[in-house]
A and B are shown apart, each in its own frame.
Chain A
Amino acid sequence: MDTTFDDPAAIRRAMQAAQRRRTWRALLLVGPLALFLLAVFVIPIAALLTRAADNPEVIETLPRTLQALSGWDGSSEPPDAAFRALAQDLEHAKNTPAAGELARRLNYEISGYRSLIFKTLRRMPIEAADDADARAQITALDKRWTEPAYWAVIASNDRAWTPYYLLASLDLKLDANGHVVAVPPNTSAFQEIFSRTFVISLVVTLVTLVLGYPLAYWITRLPKRHANLILICVLIPFWTSVLVRIAAWVVLLQREGLINSALGGLGLISDPLPLLFNRLGVYIAMVHILLPFMVLPLYSVMQSVPPSYQRAAISLGSHPFAAFWRVYVPQTYPGIAAGSLLVFIIAIGYYITPALLGGAGDQMISYYVAYFTNQTINWGMASALGLILLAATLLLYGLYRRISGRELALN
């Protein structure tokens, strides 16, 4: 008799060992990629997203002031001790980067706070005999220090987290009583910009679907050799740099561009059509750039749909269109879903195309993320806008899965 048969535990051990080896090998194979993704993708994104609520400036730079203000009601005269604590904190922060960060953070809440902080910093250190003397000296530096509103801003930032950026990204703010209220009209337009981002992405997705579906269908009906040729034609623009393609669209669409001069030359139009620096230009270029992302998933799904089903439906008496619509199209749903989701999610983050081809009213949310990171160096706002965009996208993906009842799959 076989020895292993006598000892089932030995078999189990041998199998477990083999299983472990397999697991280890698999881990070794994906390990480098997993580490890479963790280091360059997961950790940086997580770190950036925390910046959307991170609020270290006041608690780190003005700890004594916060302590002195801890029992203060927020509207009466701040206690004398707070003035002396402020002088000590600012003396400590003088000539460090923390001072600039503090000034910038406070200026978000009250315009003018930045210069107030710098002006006060320059006079530090002060020799104060007691708390009341510190008060007299600081209020003499700038009379704004007599206004409780400036102190209330410091007192309200006594936590390491703030909803300020996330609320501002939705055109909201906290009022003096801690209620969430809308910011004054005309001062902020992020709600509109978010909805514009989703509308543009949705329109682009629908147009690429309408244009891409017949194309993908046609390619699947072609003989293999021709199909490959057409697919290469679809892919060639895909291999060209996005910037080059956008520059090409500028040449085509501009006032004196090819399209306008051709239409004008044919006598179809008397004035050049406005095709550039508006929504139309953005749609045209985005549809062109994203079309391969729709055609390829559609084609890969359509290829696996046997044509015999449609023929069977027709031979059983169905109208050819009904056979197409009720037999063929449902079998391509996974392709439609995959293509639409891919195009929509890529479109939602579009930046360079609207920036170069759109007008001021056609910019999508990424433009403002770039604006806050590159121009005003406001990481809080940039992260908050990104976080909201990510959350909205995940929400939409969740909805999509709820409706379609399946995972994203290409087969």
Chain B
Amino acid sequence: MRGALKYCGVGTFVWSTVLAYNAETLKTPPTGWADFWDVKKFPGKRGLRKGAHYNVEFALMADGVPPQDVYKVLATPEGVDRAFKKLDEIKPYVQWWEAGAQPPQMLSAGDVVMSAAYNGRIDAAQREGRPLKVVWNQSVYDFDYWVIPVGSPNKDQAIEFIRYASSPKAQAAYSQHIAYGPISKEAIGMLKPDVLANVPNSPANARNALFNDLEFWTDHGEELEQRFTAWAAR
């Protein structure tokens, strides 16, 4: 799968940052980030992670940029201005979170009507019976990677382990326990429909999703986070 193999890492699983909402408080389900920004149609506070990453992508998608063009637009100074201008609109309605455990809590308690959230956390809350829902449209998915530190004394076992963990069988088994997606197409084919419905990179869920651009954030992360800090501090 694209992005699963890197120069210095092998994909562990696929996770996603999604729009999540409480189905008990929101009777009409939101469909994407444009709805997240629509405070008239969906009054109430929203949760966003305190940081530039994901929020600038969400802002551009809310502003009508299709997922495949988001990083092209963000690479230009005008695109960055556009994202922050869009974030200005929603700033008074945002409750910022920092830890992944916060959004399910905030959604369950009714502090916010919708929130950006890590899909694994929402999945865990759903398994506890909470009425939380995920909007897969315009979600941002990403890999976690296995890496071996230089000089590791157990390099051979580590490689052996990564080989096992990356096997389709192990990958498919993993997805049953938490809604993280497998790193290979073969493993996706092995998932049962009810598991497949909740993983970020199933064909249906990834159809209009954005693949996080690691290179973009490696280069522009510091600059954008610094700008976000300045923006949020005002």
Contact = CB atoms under 8 A, between A and B. Distances in A.
Interface of A: 95, 107-108, 111-115, 118, 122, 186-189, 192-193, 196, 255, 277, 359-361, 363, 368, 371, 375-376, 378
Nearest to B231: A186
B1 interface: no
A254 to B, nearest CB: 8
B95 A188 contact: no
Contact of B222 (A107, A277, A363): A107
6 contacts: A112-B219, A186-B231, A189-B229, A193-B233, A361-B232, A361-B233
Given A122-B7, A186-B84, A186-B227, A111 B222 contact: yes
Nearest to A112: B219
Interface in B21-62: 50
Interface string B212-234: 00010011111101110111111
A385 to B, nearest CB: 12
Interface string B106-128: 00000100000000000000000
Residue among B95, B111, B230 with the highest chain A CB neighbour number at 10 A: B230
Contact of B232 (A112, A118, A360): A360
Contact of A115 (B95, B111, B150, B218): B218
B174 interface: no
B96 interface: yes
Nearest to A277: B95
Contacts of A192: 233-234
Contacts of B223: 111, 187
A331 to B, nearest CB: 43
What 9 pairs between A and B have smallest CB-CB spacing? A360-B232, A189-B230, A112-B219, A111-B223, A189-B233, A115-B219, A111-B220, A187-B227, A188-B230
A250 to B, nearest CB: 12
A277 B92 CA distance: 12
A68 B71 CA distance: 37
Contacts of A376: 221-222, 225
Nearest to B51: A375
A112 B219 CA distance: 4
Residue among A186, A192, A360, A376 with the highest chain B CB neighbour number at 10 A: A360
Contacts of B84: 186
A115 B218 CA distance: 7
B220 A112 contact: yes
